RNA sequence: UGUCUUAUGGUGUAAUGGUAGCACUGCAGUUUCUGGAUCUGCCUGUCUAAGUUCGAAUCUUAGUAAGACAACCA
């Protein structure tokens, strides 16, 4: 009775989950677990964000805690509601739901009040120097900074100026509020970090023109965590140096033993991809891709349009893990993950991308047979459907060779092949035009080898997919490949735009797909038999079918040929 | 000539002082009405050097290499 648990292997914890369990064992925060996903609404989410989302929401789920969505909207210059909606959509598509939605801007008043408190304690001051002067005084990582001439002005003066920073009397850039810490600290972030700056040029997307002084990240982020009761504040490695300051601010205000714990993990770097918001924006603005949801983009919406499933993204993220090592993740693993998922789920259909006519010369001219075919051999519950077979078919041009090498198992004169779910046929020849291009291929079928009949179990080396010429529907198929031609575009000295793969998109307009696909819905995923996984594009409609290649099938024949 | 962080097969990730394992890739084979999938096998690894210990991928020290930090961005 008690034996079940002994059988189940213990889940391998990553270092963050191990910390969380340790905190739980030690009884911290009364056993409460709370995380947050804190995007800035200034761009679209990409697969790197998905990694963070899976951790933030996953930890909350696994330890019966809560995860909130909080928009870190402290910089009205860059932010917009447009992004808020897409961020929500992408998180939900990944399968997560937040407990609450918060905005850092909800805390502007609280943050303001605490800043005043800090000024009163003599721990913050208004600096009237220019950005350049302040930067100069910061020193360098190896040279200590120097103190601002305004550092020791009277508290009353600081209070008065701070009020002016928010009243509209002060022009943008002329005053900032700084925490008074240590200009000689070996941690640059302790050299009197900026807490507030004045922004009058852009209204805030939620608070409008109410505020003129806006809090900076280091102050606002940590305090927001604290206000919300976050127990584990998970972020990427570049914030490691910020952690002492994160702790410092919270220590100035905390009222009990509770303090959120920041833990940093490694960012997701994908080979043959750029992940920086700036570079992605450039690709979009310069028309080098069709938009944020271009199927070649590593954005969540791009992956969705490309045909990636949420399950495949979860599986990929689980495989790469969370560590403190700055990894280069192989995009091949992402492709493996989507093949693995779609192999189990996608209906197999027939589509001929590069068609050539095949005529079954001994098949009656007007006859049409409906052939039964299984929807998915990996899933018995997927059922069967019927596809029309007739005398004139289309097959792939690459599936025929007039003079074939020994290992070529496809259509070649004198050789038998199986037409999937139909008959075994023997190639009898072909017709070429004056330029030597093949126009038609001929074969004869053996009526006894219809699929399901005893004679159909005859061994033939090759099986081809096909569509009936009279019944097939013309379609556009877009073949995608990796966006960049070098493994690590960010490490390359050349401009990243010079590194784009010129063959990342191939549009085929003369493809033929089986008639059942007219019914296909947008984003629906299929396996085009023997070719790859494809989905229905967002712009597809029954009058003009458009398919996107998610990923090709593994092709050991192509590999064999490349060896030669 | 600072502070912090990291280093395990080609790639990613386990092993928490006690047999270096898993996944992807690659290679070979099996099987197949998808040259897919499946199944099997194989190749390849603890950055270096000292130290502690019966025993070190793990702890210590020193080196080496890589990354983060000098935005009125987050």
Question: What is the per-residue pLDDT for A5?
Answer: 36
pLDDT band at A10 (very low <50, low <70, confident <90, very high): low
Chain B bases closer than 7 angstroms to a protein Cβ:
1-8, 10-16, 23-27, 33-38, 66-74
- C-alpha angle A11-A15-A18 in degrees, rounded to nearest 5: 60
Q: Which nucleotide is nearest to A197 (CA to C1')?
A: B72
DSSP state for residue A59 in the 8-state scheme:
H
Catalytic residue among A267, A385, A450, A530: A267
Query: What 3 state SS string does A270-305 have?
Result: ECCCCCCHHHHHHHHHCCCCCCCCCCCCCEHHHHHH
DSSP-assigned letters across all residues of A363-418: S-TT--EEEEEES-TT-GGG-EEEEEE-SEEEEEGGGB-SS--TT--SB-TT-EEE
Question: What is the per-residue pLDDT for A510?
Answer: 97
Helix (H, G, I), strand (E, B), or coil: what is residue A242? helix
Catalytic residue among A61, A88, A153, A277: A277
pLDDT digits (tens, 9 = 90+) for A188-209: 999 999 999 999 999 999 999 9
Active site residue A10: no
ipTM of the complex: 0.97
DSSP-assigned letters across all residues of A159-189: HHHHHHHTTT-S-TTS-EEEE---TT-SSGG
Nucleotide B11's nearest residue (CA vs C1') is A330
Signed CA dihedral, A254, A257, A260, A261: sign only:
positive
Nucleotide B25's nearest residue (CA vs C1') is A332
Q: Which nucleotide is nearest to A377 (CA to C1')?
A: B37
Active site residue A402: no
Residue A4 has pLDDT above 60, yes or no: no
CA A52 – CA A40 distance, rounded (Å): 13
Residue A1 has pLDDT above 80, yes or no: no
- How distant, in Å, are the alpha carbons of A175, A219, A229 from that of A172? 8, 20, 33
Active site residue A169: no
- The token pair at A472 is 């097939």
Q: How far is the CA of A326 from the C1' of B10 (A)?
A: 17
Q: What is the pTM of this model?
A: 0.96
Q: How far is the CA of A501 from the C1' of B23 (A)?
A: 28
Q: Which nucleotide is nearest to A559 (CA to C1')?
A: B35
At what angle are helices A108-120 and A217-228 packed, to 10 degrees? 110
pLDDT band at A409 (very low <50, low <70, confident <90, very high): very high
């Amino acid at each position: 009775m008690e034996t079940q648990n002994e059988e189940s292997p213990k889940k391998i914890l990553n270092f963050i989950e191990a910390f969380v369990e340790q905190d739980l064992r030690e009884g911290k925060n009364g056993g409460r677990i709370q995380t947050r996903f804190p995007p800035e609404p200034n761009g679209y989410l990409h697969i790197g964000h998905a990694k963070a989302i899976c951790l933030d929401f996953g930890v909350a789920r696994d330890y019966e805690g809560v995860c909130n969505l909080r928009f870190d909207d402290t910089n009205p210059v860059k932010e917009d509601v447009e992004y808020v909606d897409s961020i929500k959509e992408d998180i939900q598509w990944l399968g997560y739901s937040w407990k609450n939605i918060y905005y850092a801007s909800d805390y502007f008043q609280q943050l303001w009040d605490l800043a005043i408190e800090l000024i009163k304690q003599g721990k913050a001051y208004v600096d009237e120097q220019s950005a350049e002067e302040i930067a100069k005084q910061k020193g360098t990582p190896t040279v200590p900074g120097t103190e601002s001439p305004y550092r020791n002005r009277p508290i009353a003066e600081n209070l008065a100026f701070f009020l002016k920073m928010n009243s509209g009397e002060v022009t943008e850039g002329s005053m900032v509020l700084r925490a008074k810490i240590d200009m000689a600290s070996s941690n640059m972030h302790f050299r009197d970090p900026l807490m507030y700056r004045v922004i009058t040029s852009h209204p805030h997307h939620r608070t409008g023109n109410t505020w003129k002084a806006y809090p900076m990240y280091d102050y606002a982020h940590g305090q927001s965590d604290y206000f919300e009761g976050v127990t584990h504040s998970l972020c990427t490695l570049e914030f490691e140096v910020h952690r002492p300051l994160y702790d410092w601010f919270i220590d100035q205000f905390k009222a009990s033993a509770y303090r959120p714990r920041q833990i940093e993990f490694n960012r997701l770097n994908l080979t043959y991809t750029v992940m920086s918001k700036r570079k992605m924006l450039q690709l979009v603005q310069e028309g080098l891709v069709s938009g944020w949801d271009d199927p070649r983009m590593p954005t969540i919406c791009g992956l969705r349009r490309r045909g990636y499933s949420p399950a495949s993204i979860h599986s990929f993220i689980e495989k790469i893990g969370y560590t403190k090592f700055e990894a280069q993740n192989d995009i091949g693993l992402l492709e493996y993950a989507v093949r693995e998922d779609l192999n189990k789920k996608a209906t197999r259909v027939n589509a001929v991308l590069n068609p050539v006519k095949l005529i079954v010369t001994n098949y009656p001219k007007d006859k049409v047979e409906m052939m039964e075919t299984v929807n998915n051999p990996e899933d018995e519950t997927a059922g069967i459907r019927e596809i029309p077979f007739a005398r004139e078919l289309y097959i792939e041009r690459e599936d025929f060779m007039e003079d074939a090498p020994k290992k070529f198992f496809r259509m070649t004169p004198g050789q038998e092949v199986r037409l999937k779910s139909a008959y075994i046929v023997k190639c009898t020849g072909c017709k070429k035009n004056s330029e030597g291009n093949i126009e038609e291929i001929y074969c004869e079928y053996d009526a006894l080898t219809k699929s399901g009949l005893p004679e159909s179990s005859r061994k033939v080396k090759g099986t081809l997919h096909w569509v009936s010429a009279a019944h097939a529907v013309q379609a556009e198929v877009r073949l995608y490949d990796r966006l960049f031609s070098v493994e690590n575009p960010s490490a390359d000295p050349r401009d990243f735009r010079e590194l784009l793969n010129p063959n990342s998109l191939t549009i085929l307009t003369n493809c033929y797909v089986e008639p059942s696909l007219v019914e296909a819905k947008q984003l629906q995923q299929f396996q085009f038999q023997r070719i790859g996984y494809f989905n229905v594009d967002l712009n597809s409609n029954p009058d003009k079918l458009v398919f996107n290649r998610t990923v090709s099938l593994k092709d050991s024949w192509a590999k064999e040929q490349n060896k030669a």
